[in-house]
Structure 1
């Protein structure tokens, strides 16, 4: 159910901006809120979305699964973010056709890659501090992506919702029950 809600919200959020470039009032307010940040600060804030950070986080999730003997979840930890990224890049972005700086921007690919991996980490660890750190990373990345002019706030929100929907849907695939221990 949460996957469906996130997916539906991602679809609905992007509809007013499909085929266009104009930011809405919320987007303009977010741009104004981060306009005072220096270029150096926004570059630091956008770091969580960089591939070398996202890949390291994905590897951590896989290693945690493997160390716990959860091979199927280790595969899902790789497959779910990859599926989210591919669907976003080759299907969803072209469907919405929202442009900024000659680039398709809705939903944000930066955000989809980061949030899909963070969602996997939350599912793997089930720890409150991972949820908090993930939320802080997303907030920083949001300010950075908007501040750098890469995305509008609605692109980031849509990317967040889409990534969570794909990961939760993938993670909910029925898995065989582990065999009972004989020892």
Structure 2
């Protein structure tokens, strides 16, 4: 995984979009796009299917995936990537729970909803997997599978009443921003610590 790719630019762009969307929906209930998505999902899917679709957001699914990724990184001698696998999602989840949700103050039923915490956890792990994959086919496959999983989870969370569509979009943007920013900082710090080659 190259630290020279424009991960910082991706992080800033996603963060700005997340903030703009959050300001638009802050303190607001069902928006126009949310209402359209909600109506379509409820007409199309049954509850049993919806509960199956949200399974990838559960901790007992995500934690083993992250642990396996860490183990593979360490076995290959990729310590920096192992740190990213743990720190990136952890920062995203904690910042979303303790900072962003209270800041944007968007409620659904009795809980703060924007950005979606389920989405942040899932997309943070998926983003790490995309960054860790070898460039080329592996990256494309993981990205496509991740997009399908995210789409399925979105349907499930909307149908079960967990979140609005815009909550999921905001969670996706924040997770990508956080993981990319974390990787940018980690690679920058690693380069700062690297010994300077001698001219002699």
TM-score range, shorter chain: over 0.9
Query: Pairwise mapping of residues 57-76 of structure 1 onto structure 2 (< 5 A)?
Result: 57-76=65-84
Work out the CA distance in 1 between the residues paired with 2:145 and 2:47.
23
Q: CA deviation at 1:65?
A: 1.2
CA contact 1:34–1:147 (8 Å) conserved in 2: yes
Q: 1:57·1:118 contact (CA, 8 Å) conserved in 2?
A: no
Distance 1:18 1:176 in 2: 38
Q: CA RMSD in A?
A: 1.3
2:181 aligns with 169
Matches of 1:161 and 1:63, distance apart in 2: 27
Q: Tell me the equivalent position of 2:13.
A: 5
Residues of 2 paired with 1:135 and 1:59: CA distance? 21
SS of residue matched to 1:172: helix
**Structure (1 or 2) with the larger CA radius of gyration:** 2
> 3-state DSSP class of the match of 2:190?
coil
* Mapped partners of 1:141, 1:64: distance in 2: 26
- Structure 2 Cα separation of the partners of residues 64 and 164 of structure 1: 22
Alignment gaps of 5+ in structure 1: none
Residues paired across the two proteins, number: 178
For 2:33, the equivalent position in structure 1 comes to: 26
What TM-score, normalized by structure 2, do the two folds share? 0.85
Structure 1 segments (4+ residues) deviating >4 Å: none
Q: 2:56 aligns with which of 48, 62, 86?
A: 48
Structure 2: 5+ residue stretches without partners: 1-8, 196-200
TM-score (structure 1 length as normaliser): 0.93
